Structure 1
Amino acid sequence: MNQPTLVLVHGALTDASVWRRVSRRLQEAGYPVIAPALPMRDFDGDVIYLRQFLSTLTGPLVVAAHSYAGCVISAPDALTPEVRALVYVTAFQPDAGETAGALNGKFPGSRLVPDNLVVRPCPGGSEVYLRADKFGEVYAGDADERDRKVLAAAQKPFDPVTLEGSFAGSASWHGLPSWAVVSTQDNSIPPEAQRWMAERAGSTVVEVASSHAVPLVHPEVVASTIVEAAS
């Protein structure tokens, strides 16, 4: 039987390299792996981008998303019929009409607050970064100092309008099996929000004592969850 292709979609503030340790483990297990780069200029654009990207792949596919990318893979228009399962890695799991911004404020605890952010103008809009001196506290508290500094220096910024995007149709997790890795020490998306979204979606939940940077810090947990979904 052909192994499914594993598609790893990064979220806001990090690029596809956040998956590098997960990717290595999955490749060593014999799976084809690909990690696209979302534009993160607006939500609808990310949905269109992912759909077109997935349409270039032959199935079956398992799609994993970190952080904001959970919003994208939840949008029914983002996926192709070849997608067989979804894995949410400390990620948003919205339903119709819900935004990342609103879901992140549903429960207390997120430190993604204006005082910890830097907004810079860019052609056609603006983009958001985490303050370098706050990156560890907010995003990667359990990563080693070298990783924290590299992540803070090489952030993938997002246009703030992306967090207000939503979709109209029923979320993709209503019709596909899903898994959720919940980080219990997450200061970006509150753990209570992650648990609430995963329970509502009927996801198989794996909890790990980690920060938001769980793909980098606990790649073995994330990789094993993706392999479970792939099997």
Structure 2
Amino acid sequence: MPHIKRTTPAMSRRLKTAFAAVLVALTGAVAAQPANATDARGAKPTIVLVHGAWADASGWNGVITRLRNDGYRVLAPGNPLRGLASDAAYLKGLLATLDGPIVLVGHSYGGSVVTNAAGDDPDVKALVYVSAIIPDQGESVFDLSTKYAGSKIGDNTITTVPLASGDADVYVRTENFADIFSADLPRSTSALLVATQRPITYGALTEPSGKPAWKTVPSWALIPRDDQVIPLQAQRFMTARAKSHTVEVAGSHVAMISRPGTVTQLIETAARAAN
């Protein structure tokens, strides 16, 4: 029979330390923080970043790095992109697991999701919209993105894949992606984005929005003037209606990738105001 070594208190402490290190490596949620960091009970809110259509959470990487360096806890969940109500319910469930104040950030279609997920959550202290859809009740992404001329998303630039449910997945065509989505990024970076793009359902783009959180939660917004997905005039209309504290910059639809420092600065401004 093999000899089983008895675990001593010192060994137990080492095991706990090692296990904690594994959790950090797997989740990235609790890592070594700079000296100015605060824990979940401290003053700094948790920043939750929600990506939009034809993207994934990695688009926030530059922003995440900067926020973490400044002592913020950050989460960037995968947005299902299956339907507005169901996507918002998923995010709402995630927010319910967090303690303390939250700043909720949405990019593109993610703006619709955060607008619907935050309304009844008292912990959400600020909303930040990055080249985003900011719907009122009853409006859809399609309604707002076509309200004014200028979007290059259309029948000649998308591909649809039928689904068994009767809905369809919508992709941006490879040959159009860089010019529409990420014109201010290197072509090599745009090639990676198009290869890894996550489709959104047609239903999600046409589903009416529910009660908007921006009517009760203060908001900030960043508008890239060269956006080819959501027209500039549409973004100005939505941010003015929401009374968002707004910054305009030169840049494409993916400002969080091409202008991560500017986006981070706006999020931290909202976070400080939320406190």
Q: Of 65, 81, 97, which aligns to 1:24?
A: 65
Q: Note the C-alpha offset of 1:166.
A: 2.0
**Paired residues of 1:173 and 1:201 also in contact (CA < 8 A):** yes
**Paired residues of 1:72 and 1:78 also in contact (CA < 8 A):** no
User: Secondary structure at 1:115's aligned position in 2?
Assistant: coil
Q: Note the C-alpha offset of 1:40.
A: 1.1
In the other structure, the counterpart of 2:191 is 149
Structure 1 pair 57–89 and aligned structure 2 pair: CA distance change class (3 A): same
Q: Note the C-alpha offset of 1:127.
A: 0.7
In the other structure, the counterpart of 2:182 is 140
Letter in 2 for 1:97: G
- Which structure is higher in RCO with an 8 Å CA cutoff and minimum separation 6? 1
**Paired residues of 2:49 and 2:104 also in contact (CA < 8 A):** yes
**Paired residues of 1:16 and 1:37 also in contact (CA < 8 A):** yes
User: Secondary structure at 1:63's aligned position in 2?
Assistant: strand
* Per-residue Cα deviation, 1:161-204 (whole angstroms, up to 9, x for no partner): 001112343x1101111001001000000011101100111000
User: Size of the alignment, in residue pairs?
Assistant: 230
In the other structure, the counterpart of 1:164 is 206
User: Secondary structure at 1:90's aligned position in 2?
Assistant: strand
Q: Note the C-alpha offset of 1:98.
A: 0.8
Any residues of structure 2 matched to 1:96-107 within 5 Å, and which?
Answer: 96-107=137-148
Structure 1 gaps, min length 5: none
Instruction: Compute the RMSD of aligned alpha carbons.
Output: 1.3
In the other structure, the counterpart of 1:112 is 153
**Alignment of 1:189 onto 2:230:** yes
Q: Give distance in 2, aligned partners of 1:92 and 1:167.
A: 11
Q: Note the C-alpha offset of 1:77.
A: 6.1
**Paired residues of 1:120 and 1:128 also in contact (CA < 8 A):** yes
Q: Note the C-alpha offset of 1:75.
A: 1.7
Any residues of structure 2 matched to 1:39-50 within 5 Å, and which?
Answer: 39-50=80-91
Q: Note the C-alpha offset of 1:126.
A: 2.1
Structure 1 pair 53–214 and aligned structure 2 pair: CA distance change class (3 A): same
* Per-residue Cα deviation, 1:3-61 (whole angstroms, up to 9, x for no partner): 11000000000011110111111111110000011111111111111110111111200
In the superposition, the TM-score normalised over structure 1's length comes to 0.96
**Alignment of 1:95 onto 2:136:** yes
* Per-residue Cα deviation, 1:123-169 (whole angstroms, up to 9, x for no partner): 53421111111111110000111110000000011111001112343
Any residues of structure 2 matched to 1:202-221 within 5 Å, and which?
Answer: 202-221=243-262
**Paired residues of 1:11 and 1:69 also in contact (CA < 8 A):** yes
**Paired residues of 1:178 and 1:204 also in contact (CA < 8 A):** yes
User: Secondary structure at 1:98's aligned position in 2?
Assistant: coil
Q: Give distance in 2, aligned partners of 1:4 and 1:190.
A: 31
Q: Note the C-alpha offset of 1:2.
A: 2.6
Q: Note the C-alpha offset of 1:122.
A: 3.9
**Paired residues of 1:184 and 1:207 also in contact (CA < 8 A):** yes
In the superposition, the TM-score normalised over structure 2's length comes to 0.81
User: Secondary structure at 1:58's aligned position in 2?
Assistant: coil
Q: Give distance in 1, aligned partners of 2:117 and 2:109.
A: 16
Q: Give distance in 1, aligned partners of 2:121 and 2:143.
A: 27
Structure 2 gaps, min length 5: 1-41
User: Secondary structure at 2:237's aligned position in 1?
Assistant: helix
Q: Of 204, 222, 225, which aligns to 2:266?
A: 225
